[in-house]
Structure 1
Amino acid sequence: MDSDNHTLAEKEVEMIKKRKKEGIDIPLNEKVQGKETTTLLEDVYLIHNALPEINIEDIKLNTVFLGRTFSAPIIIDSMTGGTDEALLINKRLGQIAEKYGFAMGLGSQRAGLKSDKLVKSYSVARSIAPNAFLIANIGGAQLAEGLSKNDVKQIIKMIDADALAIHLNPLQELIQPEGEPHFKGILQKITSLVNDIEIPVIVKEVGSGISPEVAVKLQGAGIRAINMAGSGGTSWAGIEKIRADSAKSYIKSNLGNLFWDWGIPTALCVLLASKYVDIPLIASGGLRNGLEIAKCLMLGAKMCAMAFPFLKRAAKSEDELDKFAQLILAQLRGTMFLLGSSDIDSLVNTRYILKDKLASMLNSYEFRRNKN
């Protein structure tokens, strides 16, 4: 019986490793960005300042988030772990986080709980980045299904985490061939977890966004920040649709195609939530450059996170990744120069114009405090 259980455990680990590998390979090699949806950041019009009265080298990008000072308001967002490829990617990302003072999130660490052999693919980030702000990661579905307090503490210890992210991914769980779309009781589990651990808890989506009604509930649960992860970037419905095709799952594939663009666009997420909650917001979902980072900060975000752009470069080389880090900092600084903003505080108080679809959606949104 023990032998049978061991064999089953090994099979489960191999399945997780396979899924984690596909979670890297598919975004890098297939077209899984939003089809018709966008972040709506194109509808945020910035007003050029022909008299900036600043020198570009004097512009300061530093900001404070969850009690820590960061050299820039940038997070390398949660991506991967649990495979040999992930070990190399997380090592490279950790190097960049340490070098440039970025925060860094790890991919879901469930795999590290299943096998000690997979722990290093996560812990390498702390080994290479002893001073970086690292964010551990667990799934809301697993928390709802009964992930223990000891499991959570093990996940935190795995990378000596500075914060813990709980990812909410109902769309992905719905379409994933081996998904677990079981979220009943999740809000109470989040509330309990906040009281059980000492580090800040962040709740994040993975690409479908968080409505202001949900944001208000999460703030009431005591979490310290929300990662909005709106639509307009990588589609996890698209990724899981491709996996469902390989698994010959007709219904899952159809659902993936139907809900490919499902979600709340990133710009709308940030604008709406900033009206109703006071805790810091992290803008993510389809951000691709420093100009879009500046826009999100102006809309109400405290930090901005990117996943796919970092993954894409990390999979190529350390040099490509380093060039990209330098590029987005230059883009952010350049945007601030053209707006006449000498620091992040002045940037967030700079005027902008909302136009077209974003303005229309914002004006027509009806907040419902008791909405489920």
Structure 2
Amino acid sequence: MSDIGQRKREHIDIVLSGSARHSAPAGFDAVHFQHNALPEADLGSIDLSTSFLGRKLRLPYLASSMTGGPDVAERINRAIAEAAQQLGFAMAVGSQRISLTTADRSGLGPELRRLAPDVPIYGNLGAVQLVHGMGLAEARRAVDELGADALILHLNPLQEALQQGGDWNWTGVEPAISALTRALPVPVIVKEVGSGISAAVARRLADCGVAAIDVAGAGGTSWAAVEGRRSASPAAEDLGDIFRDWGIPTARCLSDVHAALPLMPLIASGGIRHGLDAAKAIRLGATLTGQAAALLPAAMNGPEAVIAHVGAVARALRIACFATGSRNLAALRTAQLQ
């Protein structure tokens, strides 16, 4: 296994252990819907479908990017792809850096499109890699290897700062994103990895021409804590704990970014626990809600487990619509809050 592959396998193990979560919440417990005791709606007929970047989805759900070494990535991605095809949600793969720089595709090849021909699949590269040896050619390959509908660029400056051998020089990343959005034939989505995107940064990304933003706020996995746990150095582990709760809570990111950019398609990830959180995220401005760590145990256990997990999210979301008198997601976006 390559050094990158080993690191990503360690990431999986740490996330599964539950030892690297933000201790601060994502902020959804402070959001309360006003109950509608006379909903005038049929629970079984509530429409959870949505459109995102020109593609219709039966559920407003994204299986968010997950890391994973060569021995588990294929299992994870196949399980998600099969479930996504059956239920009609979108999926994003983890970083394609391994498949672009080694002979190991780690489950990041055309088989995913064969398993999920009818749903959006999003590729993934680290934005900082655009100034460290990767560019348009690699981005095109990342898209072509998957038959991807869009490319996600992830922003992870805090993680890189705490990672042994991480990329510390982020000079030039913003213009590189701008150049890529102009040249790549598919939409570019930009996401954080758990520290959130502020309204000010979102405006800069909009000026770069990105098609959508995943706010990926604080409240779920803390990649500062993950890197601290990975380290063999007590000092580095202490540093990870110092920055464990660094970031903007997901609910605040959504409110602020949606207010600043009301027409920008948004994905809410970072501490989405269940379908009620998903409903609140949609009410705050999200088009899709994403889960990674919460979905990971199911993804490790196969497509049936993923179907069960996402089905439970959908059931709670549908009940939230019903209890607010919302017959579809458009109505949920205007539901009364307390």
TM range (shorter): over 0.9
Corresponding residue SS for 2:252: helix
Q: Map 1:109-124 to 2 at 5 A.
A: 109-124=96-111
- Answering whether residue 119 of structure 2 is matched by residue 144 of structure 1, we say no
In the TM superposition, 1:71-86 aligns within 5 A as 71-86=58-73
Retained in 2: the 8 A contact 1:291–1:332?
A: yes
Once the two structures are superposed, the pairs formed by residues 4-43 of structure 1 within 5 Å of their partners are 14-35=2-23, 37-43=24-30
Q: Does 1:212 align with 2:212?
A: no
How many Å apart are 1:119 and its aligned residue? 4.9
Which residue of the partner structure matches residue 368 of structure 1?
A: none
Structure 1 pair 173–39 and aligned structure 2 pair: CA distance change class (3 A): same
Q: Which residue of 1 aligns with 2:294?
A: 309
Contact 2:221 2:293 in 1 (8 A): yes
Which residue in the other structure is 2:281 paired with? 296
Compute the displacement of 1:319 (Å): 2.8
Distance in 2 between the 1:121 and 1:81 partners?
11
Give the Cα separation in 2 of the matches to 1:118 and 1:163: 19
Q: State the match for 2:81 in structure 1.
A: 94
Moved over 4 A (4+): none
One-letter identity of the residue aligned with 1:94: A
Alpha-carbon distance, 1:317 to partner: 3.6
Give the letter for the 1:276 counterpart. A
Structure 1 residue 219: deviation in Å? 0.5
- Higher helix share goes to which structure? 1
Q: Which runs of 5+ in 1 are unaligned?
A: 1-12, 354-372
Query: 1:84: how far off?
Result: 1.8
Paired residue for 2:259?
Answer: 275
Where do residues 219-368 of structure 1 align in structure 2 (5 Å cutoff)?
219-244=206-231, 246=232, 248=233, 250-277=234-261, 278-353=263-338
1:329 is displaced (CA, Å) by 0.9
Name which of 40, 48, 70 aligns with 2:35: 48
Tell me the equivalent position of 1:358.
Answer: none
Partner Cα separation in structure 1 for residue 135 and residue 30 of structure 2? 44
- Could you say which residue in structure 2 is the equivalent of 1:179? 166
Show CA shifts across 1:183-229 (max 9, x none): 11111000000011110000000000000000000001110000000
Q: Secondary structure at the match of 2:301?
A: coil
* Cα shift readout 1:230-251 (whole Å, capped 9, x = no counterpart): 001111111110011x3x3x44
Gaps of 5+ in 2: none
Corresponding letter in the other structure for 1:137: N
- Counterpart of 1:357 in structure 2 is none
- Residue type of the partner of 2:102? S
Cα-to-partner distance string for 1:291-328 (whole Å, 9 max, x where unaligned): 00000000111111111111121113433222112111
Q: How far apart are the structure 2 equivalents of 1:265 and 1:125?
A: 32
CA contact (8 A) 1:167 1:204 kept: yes
Cα distance in structure 2, aligned partners of 1:125 and 1:235 = 28
Percentage identity across aligned positions?
Answer: 38
Contact 2:188 2:210 in 1 (8 A): yes
Give the equivalent residue in structure 2 for 1:192.
179
Partner of residue 93, structure 2:
106
Q: Which residue of 2 aligns with 1:359?
A: none
Find the aligned partners of 2:72 and 2:219 in 1 and give their Cα distance.
26
Contact 1:108 1:139 in 2 (8 A): yes
CA distance in 1, matches of 2:175, 2:135: 14
Distance 2:174 2:290 in 1: 24
SS in 2 for 1:46: coil
Q: What value does the CA root-mean-square deviation take over the aligned residues?
A: 1.3
